[in-house]
Chains A and B, each alone.
Chain A
């Protein structure tokens, strides 16, 4: 079946640095990718919708300058957490959709720890 890969799976960084997380669809083209954030023992919260070749659409309350999303190709979307702070520590999960109304596949998540 279709696979969505996230990299890195775990990352630790110092406060004030920026971290990039990649989300790749390995065997299909994903016009749309979604980025979620999940705090411990909580649900997935949609951060933004990433469409290939256009600007991401951010959910209310998500700072677009803080969480930079780039969807430069049909198989890759990146999330960059800029000037990370400890409160940005979370589990970031992406999902990729085949076409605009197709199947949805989730990545395995990337755990960010900001010291």
Chain B
């Protein structure tokens, strides 16, 4: 089966710094990837997605990079704010849709004021 994992379980940054959260996936057939933010006691919140025909996608203060060669993706958050403190999950799927996402382990991001 497919597994999606993260390199670091926790990340602590200073307010205003840039944050980089990494994720590795194992199934080379994965072709759609999503980053989610989950605050304590809440459901996942969509941040940004990327398809396998792209290697970079930018949103508001966030950028996702995809390296299919090494099956790795990252989420970059610019000018990290205290409100960004949460657990971040990457998710992957096959078939280019949201069908049956497989989630990674999660990284807890703590932003220090």
Contact B98 A101 (CB under 8 A): yes
What chain A residues lie within 8 Å of B97 (beta carbons)?
A: 100-102
Asked if residues A34 and B100 are in contact (CB atoms below 8 Å), the reply is yes
Q: Are A106 and B44 in contact (CB under 8 A)?
A: yes
CB closest residue in chain A, given B93 = A104
The minimal Cβ–Cβ distance linking B66 to chain A, given in whole angstroms, is 19
* Residue contact A101 to B105, C-beta cutoff 8 Å: no
B42 touches A46 (CB 8 A): no
Residues of chain A within 8 A (CB-CB) of B44 are 44, 93, 106
- Chain B residues lying within 8 Å of A34, measured Cβ to Cβ, are 100-101
B98 near A107 with CB under 8 A, answer no
Report which of A49, A102, A108, A109 forms a contact with B100, defined as CB distance below 8 A.
A49
Whether the pair B100, A43 counts as a contact (CB closer than 8 A) is no
Whether A42 lies near B105 (C-beta < 8 A) is: yes
User: Which chain B residue lies CB-closest to A97?
Assistant: B98
Taken together as a complex, chains A and B put the C-alpha atoms of A45 and B104 apart, in Å, by 9
Complex interface: chain B residues within 8 A of A43 (CB):
89, 103-106
Residue numbers in B under 8 Å from A111 (CB-CB): 41
Which chain B residues in 44-63 approach chain A with CB under 8 Å? 44-46
**What's the Cα separation between A102 and B89 when bound, in Å?**
20
CA distance A17 to B105 in the complex (A): 31
Residues B74-106 near A (CB distance < 8 A): 89, 95-106
Measured between beta carbons, the chain A residues less than 8 angstroms from B36 are 106
CB-nearest residue of chain B to A46: B100
A-binding residues in B (CB < 8 A): 1, 36, 41-46, 89, 95-106
Instruction: Give chain A's interface residues, CB within 8 Å of chain B.
Output: 4, 6, 32, 34, 36, 41-46, 49, 60, 91, 93, 95, 97, 100-104, 106-109, 111
| 6 more A-B residue pairs beyond the given contacts A46-B101, A102-B97, with a C-beta to C-beta distance below 8 A | A44-B44, A93-B43, A97-B99, A100-B97, A101-B98, A107-B43
